[in-house]
Chains A and B, each alone.
Chain A
């Protein structure tokens, strides 16, 4: 069975993972959506990732064995484990944890040894997502990333630190903080702190890197935390920036993007003249770039699990060719960089004891990624129902959060890995059945609208105590039906009030205990967590 296949792991070496036939004259290194993960973790890729409209059936909306078949990946192989779902718990036992910024440092140094002037670009969602990132207000990530010497970054969850902290960190940043779509809200002018692009002279050529921050920050996250800023896709301004950098002599245009993959595809088709889009936000990991017209789109996964290397041949004012590799960071195979490892330990040391405290154990695989409920979300929803005495629980469809495999301890750090944020208050309120439907329809349209420019790149809100049917092919207002209160099996009454507990409200002044405390208290009572199969969402129209 699974164990036999894992013999292959014995022969996996750092040299194999780093092997690259150097190409052209310029190298890009891309890492994105680290979400505060300094140390190696487990991360299960989604088994459900539905594409709609023109993206139906197109990558990254292909999962599991279909994904492996599409790319010719052998079952049980390292690529199976790194890139797709299926047999995850067994493969995780064999292949071990992934990521760790000390291993990432080793990979970056190896690429720089080969190509000293490689450009390192961070796609954002960096200063968020862990116990230490929360406690230090991202000073930990700021310090460790600086040790890697990136050349530029762009942004999403960073802004949930609040404008003051973002300003404080960005002003100290020893590299470019880019965002052509970050505007001052009052006068509708480009925000001075965030230049649209930076020009690099490398390999005898000029490369422009244009930043694209997450377009829907004030909608998907609490805009009251960064009221000075407006975002949006702004593809007309993107086109103007491409023209501007070309006029300034750029022979290659790279967009460091936090749009999400389908938005990047549409942007590549609308904005002419982009050579490379380094794609973040939707946490997709693909073994090769996707070509849209003349633009290559390179998604590089999340949580420190991957680094992309993209070599470019730039001659006579244009990109003539590329060679790329998505490097999986197998933490047992890639040696940690000693300098960065000790820096990480120093950042973690003041919090090490409280983070390591064991709260419980799990018998089940705990993961999040997927369009609908993951098992971590089921556990969080159960905690909300139980600890907040609610009939229905709502948990946000965020895409970050490491996995735990059966038999693992659940530490306080693990709980923060799936809950850490600056607006984690667990509210308890009453919604009418009618309003619950409005909420589900609203969120569903943010994911399943056939036009990618209407997709905000989250997954569906997770529900506890509430079952429903969703037809992803229908328009807003017609997708959700058969809403059922699971406790009684009765249909949701539009006119009745239901006690609802949830967290991560975007509304200012939300009150309640922090979600990590709610989850910790619940797990303590359970001792050992067993999450049963969740069949409460019936998905049709795929």
Chain B
């Protein structure tokens, strides 16, 4: 696993059924573009998060394909509908095959 990769998400703890909520996500990752050279003039190989998904109770909210033009520490903000109480799952896919995930519960009152 690449070192120092840490996902963070902001999801409200509660909502009313059918509410629209705003979700923000960050993951610490250098997003090496594959276009930079090291001090010896050699290309530094590409190493990025190439996909991010957010799901709720098994249904998809957003599925993002990332290219090297996405900044260091990829950030996403989007809106989801919350039909019932349950769990958001967030998954990041690294070029090196690693997968990082985190989850947040939300209670519908």
Spell out A's residues near B (CB within 8 Å). Answer: 186-188
The answer on a CB contact under 8 Å between A186 and B77 is no
Roughly how many angstroms separate A188 CA and B26 CA in the complex, as a whole number?
11
Q: Which residues from A are CB-within-8-Å of B75?
A: 188
Q: Which residues from A are CB-within-8-Å of B10?
A: 187
Q: How far is the CB of B1 from chain A (nearest CB, A)?
A: 23
A-B contacts, 7 of them at CB < 8 A, read A186-B26, A187-B10, A187-B24, A187-B26, A188-B24, A188-B75, A188-B77
Q: Which residues from A are CB-within-8-Å of B77?
A: 188
List B53-79 residues whose CB lies under 8 Å from chain A: 75, 77
Of chain B, the residue at the smallest CB distance from A186 is B26
Q: How large is the interface on B (under 10, 10 to 19, 20 to 34, 35 or more residues)?
A: under 10
Of chain B, the residue at the smallest CB distance from A187 is B24
Roughly how many angstroms separate A186 CA and B77 CA in the complex, as a whole number?
12
Of chain A, the residue at the smallest CB distance from B73 is A186
Q: How far is the CB of A187 from chain B (nearest CB, A)?
A: 6
Q: Which residues from B are CB-within-8-Å of A188?
A: 24, 75, 77
Main secondary structure of the interface of B (DSSP, over half): strand
Q: Which residues from B are CB-within-8-Å of A186?
A: 26
Roughly how many angstroms separate A188 CA and B24 CA in the complex, as a whole number?
10
Main secondary structure of the interface of A (DSSP, over half): loop
Q: How far is the CB of A301 from chain B (nearest CB, A)?
A: 40
- Residue-wise, chain B 1-31 has the 8 Å CB interface mask toward A (1 for contact) of 0000000001000000000000010100000
Q: How far is the CB of B41 from chain A (nearest CB, A)?
A: 20
Of chain A, the residue at the smallest CB distance from B77 is A188
Roughly how many angstroms separate A196 CA and B80 CA in the complex, as a whole number?
28
Roughly how many angstroms separate A187 CA and B9 CA in the complex, as a whole number?
10
Of chain B, the residue at the smallest CB distance from A188 is B77
Roughly how many angstroms separate A187 CA and B77 CA in the complex, as a whole number?
9
Q: Which residues from A are CB-within-8-Å of B24?
A: 187-188
Q: How far is the CB of B99 from chain A (nearest CB, A)?
A: 24
Q: Which residues from B are CB-within-8-Å of A187?
A: 10, 24, 26
Q: How far is the CB of A249 from chain B (nearest CB, A)?
A: 28
Q: Which residues from A are CB-within-8-Å of B26?
A: 186-187
Of chain A, the residue at the smallest CB distance from B26 is A186
Roughly how many angstroms separate A187 CA and B10 CA in the complex, as a whole number?
9
List B71-92 residues whose CB lies under 8 Å from chain A: 75, 77
Roughly how many angstroms separate A188 CA and B10 CA in the complex, as a whole number?
12
Roughly how many angstroms separate A188 CA and B77 CA in the complex, as a whole number?
10
Q: How far is the CB of A236 from chain B (nearest CB, A)?
A: 15
Q: How far is the CB of B76 from chain A (nearest CB, A)?
A: 11
Roughly how many angstroms separate A157 CA and B1 CA in the complex, as a whole number?
43
Q: How far is the CB of A264 from chain B (nearest CB, A)?
A: 30
Of chain A, the residue at the smallest CB distance from B24 is A187
Q: Which 7 A-B pairs have the closest CB atoms?
A: A187-B24, A187-B10, A186-B26, A188-B77, A187-B26, A188-B24, A188-B75
Roughly how many angstroms separate A188 CA and B75 CA in the complex, as a whole number?
10
Q: How far is the CB of B19 from chain A (nearest CB, A)?
A: 20
Q: How far is the CB of A164 from chain B (nearest CB, A)?
A: 22
Roughly how many angstroms separate A187 CA and B11 CA in the complex, as a whole number?
12
Roughly how many angstroms separate A187 CA and B8 CA in the complex, as a whole number?
11
Roughly how many angstroms separate A186 CA and B74 CA in the complex, as a whole number?
11
Q: How far is the CB of A228 from chain B (nearest CB, A)?
A: 14
Roughly how many angstroms separate A187 CA and B75 CA in the complex, as a whole number?
8
Q: How far is the CB of A224 from chain B (nearest CB, A)?
A: 15
Roughly how many angstroms separate A273 CA and B94 CA in the complex, as a whole number?
49
Q: How far is the CB of A312 from chain B (nearest CB, A)?
A: 38
Q: How far is the CB of B26 from chain A (nearest CB, A)?
A: 7
Q: How far is the CB of A192 from chain B (nearest CB, A)?
A: 15
Roughly how many angstroms separate A186 CA and B26 CA in the complex, as a whole number?
8
Roughly how many angstroms separate A424 CA and B57 CA in the complex, as a whole number?
56
Roughly how many angstroms separate A448 CA and B10 CA in the complex, as a whole number?
42
Q: How far is the CB of A142 from chain B (nearest CB, A)?
A: 34
- Residue-wise, chain B 96-107 has the 8 Å CB interface mask toward A (1 for contact) of 000000000000
Roughly how many angstroms separate A495 CA and B26 CA in the complex, as a whole number?
43
Roughly how many angstroms separate A187 CA and B25 CA in the complex, as a whole number?
9
Q: How far is the CB of A524 from chain B (nearest CB, A)?
A: 42
Roughly how many angstroms separate A136 CA and B18 CA in the complex, as a whole number?
56
Q: How far is the CB of B10 from chain A (nearest CB, A)?
A: 7
Roughly how many angstroms separate A194 CA and B10 CA in the complex, as a whole number?
22
Roughly how many angstroms separate A187 CA and B76 CA in the complex, as a whole number?
10
Roughly how many angstroms separate A186 CA and B10 CA in the complex, as a whole number?
12
Roughly how many angstroms separate A187 CA and B23 CA in the complex, as a whole number?
11
Q: How far is the CB of A105 from chain B (nearest CB, A)?
A: 46
Q: How far is the CB of A146 from chain B (nearest CB, A)?
A: 37
Q: How far is the CB of B36 from chain A (nearest CB, A)?
A: 18
Q: How far is the CB of B21 from chain A (nearest CB, A)?
A: 15
